[in-house]
Chain A
Amino acid sequence: MEVGWWGVLIAVLGGAIRIGTPFLFVSLGECLTEKSGRINLGLEGTLVMGAMTGYAVSLHSGSPWLGVLCAGLAGMVLGALHSWLCSFQRVNDIAVGIAMMLFGTGLAFFLGKPYIQPSAPRLPSIDLGGWSDLPQLEAALQINALFLLGIVVAVLMGWMLKNTAWGLKVRVVGESADAARALGLPVDRIRIMSTAMGGFLAGIGGSYLSLYYPFNWSEGLSSGQGLMAVALVIFARWQPIGCLWVSLLWGGAAALGPSLQSVGITGGYYIFNAIPYIMTLAMMIITCSPRRTLVGAPHELTVTR
Chain B
Amino acid sequence: MAQTLSKALEPVLIIVGSLTVSMVLFGVFVASAGADPFEVYQTMYRAAFGTSFSWQNTLVRAAPLMLTALCTALPGYLGLIIIGGEGAIVIGGLFAAIAALTIPSAPPMVVLTTMALVGMAAGGMWLAIGGALRHYRAVNETISSLLLNYIAIALLSHLVTSTFRDPESLNHPSTHHIGEANMIGVIPGTDLHWGLVFGIVACVIAWFLMHHTVFGFASQIAGGNVRAARVAGLPVGRLILIVCCIAGAAGGLAGMLEVAAIHGRANDTLNANYGYAGILVAFVARNNPLAIIPVAVLLGGIRASSGLLQRAHELPDATVLVMQGIIFLVILFSETLYGRFSKLQKQGVS
A and B: partners? yes
B335's partner among A91, A231, A269, A273 (CB-CB below 8 A) is A91
Q: Bound state CA distance, A271 and B155, in angstroms?
A: 7
* Contacts A92-B335, A270-B157, A271-B158; A303 near B329 (Cβ below 8 A): no
Q: Bound state CA distance, A92 and B335, in angstroms?
A: 9
A99 adjacent to B325 (CB under 8 Å)? yes
B154 adjacent to A274 (CB under 8 Å)? yes
A285 adjacent to B139 (CB under 8 Å)? yes
Q: How many residues of A contact B (CB 8 A)?
A: 47
A99's partner among B150, B151, B328 (CB-CB below 8 A) is B328
For residue B30, give the distance in angstroms from its CB to the closest CB of chain A.
10
A85 adjacent to B151 (CB under 8 Å)? no
For residue B174, give the distance in angstroms from its CB to the closest CB of chain A.
14
Instruction: Return chain A residues, CB-CB under 8 Å to B319.
Output: 110
Main secondary structure of the interface of B (DSSP, over half): helix
For residue B291, give the distance in angstroms from its CB to the closest CB of chain A.
17
Interface centre among A91, A100, A106 (most CB of B within 10 A): A106
| B41 proximal to A (CB < 8 A) | no
B325 adjacent to A103 (CB under 8 Å)? yes
B280 adjacent to A102 (CB under 8 Å)? yes
A95 adjacent to B283 (CB under 8 Å)? yes
Residue of A nearest to B318 (CB): A109
Q: Bound state CA distance, A109 and B148, in angstroms?
A: 25
Interface residues on B, range: 35 or more
* Total A-B contacts with CB atoms under 8 angstroms apart: 134
For residue A195, give the distance in angstroms from its CB to the closest CB of chain B.
15
B324 adjacent to A102 (CB under 8 Å)? yes
B324 adjacent to A106 (CB under 8 Å)? yes
Instruction: Return chain B residues, CB-CB under 8 Å to A98.
Output: 83, 142, 279, 328
Residue of B nearest to A285 (CB): B137
Q: Mark B308-350, 1 if CB is under 8 A from A, else 0.
A: 0000000011110111111011001101101000000000000
For residue B231, give the distance in angstroms from its CB to the closest CB of chain A.
17
B328 adjacent to A284 (CB under 8 Å)? no
Within 8 A of B (CB), among A17-61: 41
A94 adjacent to B150 (CB under 8 Å)? no
A85 adjacent to B329 (CB under 8 Å)? yes
| B138 proximal to A (CB < 8 A) | yes
* Contacts A85-B332, A90-B338; A113 near B143 (Cβ below 8 A): no
B146 adjacent to A290 (CB under 8 Å)? no
Q: Bound state CA distance, A290 and B148, in angstroms?
A: 21
A95 adjacent to B158 (CB under 8 Å)? no
A91 adjacent to B332 (CB under 8 Å)? yes
B321's partner among A95, A96, A110 (CB-CB below 8 A) is A110
Instruction: Return chain B residues, CB-CB under 8 Å to A100.
Output: 325, 329
| A281 proximal to B (CB < 8 A) | yes
A290 adjacent to B147 (CB under 8 Å)? no
| B202 proximal to A (CB < 8 A) | no
Q: Bound state CA distance, A189 and B142, in angstroms?
A: 26
For residue B241, give the distance in angstroms from its CB to the closest CB of chain A.
15
* Contacts A110-B321, A274-B150; A230 near B143 (Cβ below 8 A): yes
A-B contact pairs, 30 of them (CB 8 A): A85-B332, A88-B335, A90-B338, A91-B335, A92-B332, A92-B335, A94-B142, A96-B332, A98-B83, A98-B142, A99-B280, A99-B325, A102-B280, A102-B324, A102-B328, A106-B324, A106-B325, A109-B318, A109-B321, A110-B33, A113-B318, A268-B162, A271-B154, A277-B154, A281-B147, A284-B143, A285-B133, A285-B137, A288-B138, A290-B136
Residues on B lying within 8 angstroms of A by beta carbon are: 33, 81, 83, 133, 135-140, 142-144, 146-148, 150-151, 154-155, 157-158, 161-162, 276, 279-280, 283, 316-319, 321-326, 328-329, 332-333, 335-336, 338
**10 A-B pairs closest in CB distance:** A103-B325, A106-B321, A109-B318, A274-B154, A99-B328, A88-B336, A270-B158, A270-B157, A290-B138, A110-B318
Further pairs besides A107-B322, A281-B144: 19, Cβ < 8 Å: A41-B142, A91-B333, A91-B336, A92-B81, A96-B332, A99-B283, A99-B329, A100-B325, A102-B276, A102-B321, A103-B329, A106-B321, A110-B319, A219-B318, A231-B143, A270-B158, A280-B147, A281-B147, A290-B136
